[in-house]
Structure formats: C-alpha cells, structure tokens
Amino acid sequence: MSYVRGLKCRECGREYPKEPLHVCEFCFGPLEVVYNYEEIKRNISKEKIAERQKNMWRYKELLPLEKDSGIGIDIGFTPLIRAHNLAQALGVSELYLKNDAANYPTLSFKDRVVSVALSKAKEFGFDTVACASTGNLANSVAAIAAASSLRSFVFIPYDLEQGKVLGTMIYGTNLVGIKGSYDEVNRLCSEIAGKYGWAFVNINLRPYYAEGSKTFGYEIAEQLGWKVPKHIVVPMAGGSLITKVWKAFKELEKLGFVSEVDTKVYGAQATGCAPIVTAVKKKSELITPVKPSTIAKSLAIGNPADGFYAMGVIRESGGWAEDVSDEEIILAMKLLAETEGIFTETAGGVTLGVTKKLLDQGVIPRDESIVVSITGNGLKTQEVVIDRVGKPIVIEAKLSQFDALYKEKGGKKSINHEE
Ligand SMILES: *Cc1c(COP(=O)(O)O)cnc(C)c1O
C-alpha cells in the first residue's frame, strides 16, 4: 500500500496511472510521482519516524513503493557533520556537511535512487535492469542488482575513471563502454530501452528513481532537529537531486514537520560542463547544451534532463549558481580532506569549491547555517589527485634513518610536501 496517487506531467498536468512511464504522451513533458499528502499526514509523525531504523526507508510513506522493499535496507541516514575546522577555514559560523561519500553500499548518493528504482522494477515484474551512467549510477546499479538477483546492463562513456569502471565490473554486471559523451550514451539507451523492454532506472523508471533523492533532504532536516538550513549547496549533473532536495523540504513543510522553508538553494557545476549555471547567470529561460570537458566526470552531463526544473528551484528559493575550474575542484578536495578528514570525489570538490566562491562573492552570508552536499567518495577518482598529495618517503627499518628524516623535515606541516 502506498500513498501514491499516480504520475503527473510537470508541464501540462495530465495524470497517468502508476506504470513504468516517464514522458507525457501529449506534450512530451516529464512525469512526476504525486502523493496524497492528507493521508500521509494522518499516518506518519516525527515520533513514528524516530522509532524506526536509521536508514532511508524511515520515510517510506513519502516514497513510491507499494510494499516494503527488502532491497538496500541499509541505505541512507549518512552523517550530517558539524564542520568546525572547515567553518574556521572558510570564516563561517555554522557549517554542515551531508556526507554521502559514506553511503552504503557504493559510497555515493546514487544508492538512494537505485534502491527505489530497483524495488519498483521488481514490483513491475522486470527481470533486467539497466542504466546510462556517468559512473556512480553504474556502481550502484551493478551492486544492488547483484544483491537483488536481477540481471543488469550498464552503459557508460568508455573513458571513465578506473575506480568507477572496476567498481562496476566487480559485481559481474554487463558493462558497455560507449565511444561518446554521456549525452550520446543516454540517447542510445533510450533506443535500447524501447527495443529491449528493460527497466532503465534513469529513463523509463526515472519518475520513481528520482524520488529516492528526496531522502537526502529529509535526513538533513531531521538531523538538524527538524529544521531546514538557511543555505544549501547541491552539485548538479542532470539536475535531479537539487529539485528533489527542494521537493523534500516543501513536503516536510506541508506535513508540518518543519516551519516555513526559507532555504536558499545553490547549484554547483564544473566550469567545463556548466549548462545550468550558465543559464542561471544569464537569467535565460533556455539551457544551451555543452560538450563536457572536466575532471568532474560524474557531473559531466552536457544536456541535463532536469536542468530547466533545477533552474526553477534555484530561482524560486532565491538561491544562485556558480561553477569552478578543475584546479579549484582539486584544491577544494584537498581542503575538505585536510580540515575534516573526508575524502570526496571530484563532485564534492565542485560543491565545496562553489561554496567557497559564493562566500567570497558575498552571495552566501557567513553568519547563517549552510549545508554542503558531499555526494561521492574520493577513492573512485584517485587519478585527479594522485600527483597532488606528495609521495611517501621510504626508509630502511632503522631508527637512525627515521631520526635523520625527522631532523631534516620534522618541523614542516607534512614531511611529504615541499611547501
Ligand atoms: C549523479 C551525481 C550527482 C548529481 O546528480 P543529478 O543528475 O543532478 O541528480 C551529484 N553527485 C554525484 C557524485 C553524482 O554521482
């Protein structure tokens, strides 16, 4: 039993039944899951949620499944960290990191969306699941499909980081590298979905899949003591997560779990792939697709499916958007690791780099609560920092050798760095 009324076109409002549909037959607008909030309000409370296991299914009434899933039961409820050291480095008073680099099982926020999508695929009776991915989705679909005894096909741009490729192959999935960008992978996958009738999590199951991202927002509010932050910075690839964080906050407001949502939402992209940011900065209604060229491969979507709606959330909330260079991404990854002990992937570098830039510009004030979204793990994108962290110093197992080393370099912040 769910509280889902059905699907609804985000453009023309036409309603559809709960089926594996994703575009409106009449206007080609994207479909979205709609709920009966009056019923939900009668059936959940903060107290009821507090009694449940610490995972994303504690908000199950707000997710589009008909029965308890059994797939990915340990996903979510990642730490929300009060980042004192980083706050000091940035000169801000109240800073939090929502850390999905620690998500289970594949160390990115994508486990949230995939567990909902694969549960839904099972409900619909599919035996094969698939995805078009920039990397993290590939890892997550392969892992969770393996654990759920579903056959999986994963399609990626052929030149992804080794950690993302290995972290997909290991689960025994069917991995296909496409000679082209993510946007070309995605186009091909739409054709394959039509022809083979598989459950593509981010194509024909996209309305259900995307709802999983809302749990990132619910958790932040609950972990802040059922409060929303004044500012939140969110990385954007296809632009889905940012719209769902906003939807989550608005739903909690509707249910009376938080008071008025006055959060400003900021979108973050890499300069080498910033179609949404560019449109926001130009105050344009149109998003011009780009050809990505950045180390932030997980965010490298040149023609973002939800870009228009992401822009809408940024404007409606009174937020803004910024982009950062590859060099700024690396510096931000290092800053996060050195201040808070968190190794994020390039996407986290984008988010933190953009946060720093917006603070420096005075767009985000320094004396209000800020949440920075860390969505993926640095062990998957080692290539970009391997030459930027120094090298271990190798000595014989003799005290005299260590004494000599310490005498020479022990006064520095790190014995491995020249600076
Ligand atoms: C996919 C992804 C995002 C953003 O996803 P959307 O397509 O905008 O929902 C952010 N961070 C990481 C690490 C990702 O893998």
| Residues 349/381, Cβ–Cβ less than 8 Å | no
User: Same fold for the domain at 4-73+110-209 and the one at 80-106+213-384?
Assistant: yes
Site to substitute for ligand 1 among 299, 308, 342, most atoms within 8 A of C-beta: 299
For helices 346-360 and 326-340, the axis angle rounded to 10 degrees is 90
Site to substitute for ligand 1 among 98, 109, 295, most atoms within 8 A of C-beta: 109
User: At 418, is the pLDDT very low, low, confident or very high (cuts 50, 70, 90)?
Assistant: low
Domain assignments of the chain as residue spans, ordered by start: 4-73+110-209, 80-106+213-384
Residue range 255-283: average pLDDT? Answer: 98
| Residues 112/141, Cβ–Cβ less than 8 Å | no
pLDDT digits (tens, 9 = 90+) for 299-336: 999 999 999 999 999 999 999 999 999 999 999 999 99
Res 414 pLDDT > 90:
no
Residue range 267-294: average pLDDT? Answer: 97
User: At 44, is the pLDDT very low, low, confident or very high (cuts 50, 70, 90)?
Assistant: very high
Output the CA 381–ligand 1 centroid distance in Å: 14
Output the CA 417–ligand 1 centroid distance in Å: 33
For helices 136-147 and 162-169, the axis angle rounded to 10 degrees is 10
Distance CA 372, CA 360 (A): 15
Q: Which CATH number fits domain 4-73+110-209: 3.40.50.300, 3.40.50.1100, 3.40.50.150, 3.30.379.10?
A: 3.40.50.1100
User: At 413, is the pLDDT very low, low, confident or very high (cuts 50, 70, 90)?
Assistant: confident
Segment holding 152, helix H or strand E? strand 151-157
For 260, the token pair is: 């008025």
pLDDT digits (tens, 9 = 90+) for 191-210: 999 999 999 999 999 999 99
Q: How far are the Cα atoms of 6, 47, 100, 135, 270 from residue 142, in angstroms, in the given order? A: 28, 35, 18, 11, 27
Output the CA 155–ligand 1 centroid distance in Å: 16
Sheet strands (E) in 249-407:
264-270, 321-324, 369-374
Residue range 103-131: average pLDDT? Answer: 97
Residues having CB within 6 Å of any atom of ligand 1: 108, 110, 136, 235-241, 298-299, 345, 347, 375-376
Output the CA 236–ligand 1 centroid distance in Å: 6
pLDDT digits (tens, 9 = 90+) for 76-114: 999 999 999 999 999 999 999 999 999 999 999 999 999
For 342, the token pair is: 């968190």
Res 419 pLDDT > 80:
no
CATH of domain 80-106+213-384: 3.40.50.1100
Atom of ligand 1 nearest to the CA of 298: 15
35-72 burial: b if 16+ Cβ within 10 Å, else e: beeeebeeebeeeebeeeeebbbbbbbbbbbeeebebb
Query: Beta-carbon neighbour count of residue 249 at 10 Å?
Result: 25
Output the CA 39–ligand 1 centroid distance in Å: 31
- Cα 29 → chain centroid: 23
Res 215 pLDDT > 80:
yes
Distance CA 185, CA 204 (A): 15
Output the CA 419–ligand 1 centroid distance in Å: 34
